[in-house]
Structure 1
Amino acid sequence: MQLTMTPLKPSAIPSDEDIMAAADALLEATSSWKEGKTYHKQVKTFSRAKGPGDGAPWHCRVSIHKPEEATFEQLWSKLGTNKAVHEKEFIPDINKVAKVKEISPTQNIWTLHYTFSPAIISPRVFTVVQITRVSESSPRTGMIVSIPVDLTEDQDLAKLEEKGVHGRYVSVERLLELESGEVEWRMATSSTPGGSIPTYFVERSMDGKIAEDVPHFMHWLHSLPKTE
């Protein structure tokens, strides 16, 4: 399968194995993408032009974190479990999230409601199935894949979505524990906000936007009580 922004029907979501195989292949390819700017002194960005079957170009960010900044366990506990709930805490634009359906312990459908500044931009709704995989064998790795979902085939599920313009995004995130004890956090995504926002406006700011998530996450992580 190919990971794209084309939304899946809940009844047509592939197996974890097929999704993770496509995710692994995509992340391996990011090493050959065009290098862009480095943000916040540690977040490198890369991009790939829109290809056959893609709905939009792809963007990637890579950051490496020392244990005193964030351990593998800390990162996975917040990104590999209830990721949408935690994203609401550190991404300012997200104001509501809800779990639409638990398909399995590793597959869950979430809907995320975004509001933006300036307020002239209408609220956006992104509904995705998130698939997770963690391996404790060395080197430890954790994967989170998000694929857009179209709920119109199931009206009971569709009622759980917030109102707003439907956007779409597909993303793959990998946490990789390095021999040094540091953790590489790599994320690749392709997205559209939907509506009438010009594509060029979205694309020119995408690298900076996805890079912001790293310091936002770290600030939030270090603000939590030590027991978390």
Structure 2
Amino acid sequence: MSDFQLSIKPLKLSELPSEDVIIKTGQTLIESTKSWKLGKTHEHVVKTFSDSKHRVDGVGWHCRLSEHTSEDATFEEFWSGLGVNKAENEKEFITTIKKVQLVKQISPTQSIWTLYYTFPPPVSPRVFTVLQTTHLNETSPRSGMIISIPIDLSSPETADLEKLEEKGVRGRYTSVEALTELEGGKVEWRMAVQSRPGGNIPTFISEMTMAGKVSEDVPQFIKWNQGRRTKRNAVEEPVNTQN
């Protein structure tokens, strides 16, 4: 499947390329974001970019980029929050995610998850089912990548897996998140995403708001990580037994 391209078109399990192909395709996409059109800066620190040339079903690509000191999060903290148990962790810091379910563990670095989102009325709940592939390069400077691809479980051979999905409007997204270790303990967090919420939400509205919505994840993750760090430090802090 050498002609594989990342898009919001869902794949059946029988159509999945190898992990190596997915990773290489993700790396190529992330590299291409460096030449995308610069957009607004959100949350004071998150730069956004877009690529409208490679649209699928009227949906373009969006990218956000932020740089963080170790005060925000170390590389290890970024990876443990995004590269390990990603869906379960996202449920903790993205308020619209109410439920996540592991559908199938394919390998230590590849798994299928279904995520259930709720929104204020009149927007109905959305269900996103994705294959998550992770890749960690521990050679200095370290880097990591998390690639999410929309999955279609409606085939007869995956009927048992489809039962694990929550009921709701089916949405689709594909994303590549890249973490890169920089000098001085800093970390670059770059994400490229293509998304379609489904239902009656017009595509042009979701396209207009996409950059701002994905930018919100950055301060939410940092706040969650700092709370996690505080709890961890409290557990590790030695107890003073002296009177």
Same fold (TM over 0.5): yes
Q: Following the alignment from structure 1 to structure 2, what is the Cα–Cα distance between the partners of residues 161 and 47?
A: 31
Residue in 2 that maps onto 1:47: 50
Give CA deviations for 1:54-104 in whole Å, capped at 9, x if unaligned.
651000000000012110000000100110000001001100000000011
Name the structure 2 match of 1:178: 182
- Residue by residue over 1:183-227, the C-alpha shift from the partner in whole angstroms, topping out at 9 and shown as x without a partner, is 000000001001110111111111110000000111111112125
Measured in 1, the distance between the counterparts of 2:154 and 2:28 equals: 30
Gapped regions of structure 2 (runs ≥ 5): 236-243
State the alpha-carbon separation in 2 of the partners of residues 18 and 94 from structure 1.
29
**Equivalent residue in structure 1 for 2:98, among 95, 99, 106:** 95
Structure 1 distance, partners of 2:53, 2:168, is 26
CA distance in 2, matches of 1:202, 1:174: 23
1:38 aligns with 2:44: no
CA positional deviation for 1:180: 2.7
Identity of aligned residues (%): 57
**1:203: which partner in 2?**
207
Tell me what 1:158 maps to: 162
Q: 2:200, 2:129 → 1: CA distance?
A: 19
Report the aligned-residue RMSD.
1.3
Task: String of CA shifts for 1:156-207, please: whole Å, max 9, x gaps.
Answer: 0000000001000000000000123200000000010011101111111111
Q: TM-score, length-normalised on structure 2?
A: 0.91
2:145 aligns with 143
| CA distance in 2 between partners of 1:52 and 1:41 (Å) | 28
Contact 1:4 1:54 in 2 (8 A): no
One-letter identity of the residue aligned with 1:58: W
Name the structure 1 match of 2:132. 130
Partner amino acid for 1:100?
V
Q: Deviations over 1:7-40 (max 9, x none)?
A: 1111221111100111011000101111011112
Distance 2:109 2:58 in 1: 26
Aligned-residue offset at 1:53: 5.0
Q: Would you say the 8 A contact 2:8–2:56 is kept in 1?
A: no
What letter matches 2:144 in structure 1? G
What is the aligned counterpart of 1:108 among 108, 111, 128? 111
**Alignment-derived partner of residue 239 in structure 2:** none
Determine which structure has more spread, i.e. the larger CA radius of gyration.
2
Q: Which amino acid aligns with 2:172?
A: R
SS at match of 2:81: helix
Match of 2:71, SS? coil
Match of 1:82 among 85, 92, 102: 85
Assess if the C-alpha contact under 8 Å between 2:58 and 2:203 holds in 1: no
Q: Structure 2 CA distance, aligned partners of 1:7 and 1:52?
A: 15
TM-score (norm 1): 0.96
- Counterpart CA distance in 1 for 2:55 and 2:196 is 16
- Matched residues in 1 for 2:57 and 2:184: separation? 36
Whole-angstrom distance in 1 between the partners of 2:71 and 2:97: 28
Tell me the residue number matched to 2:66. 63
AA in 2 matched with 1:91: I
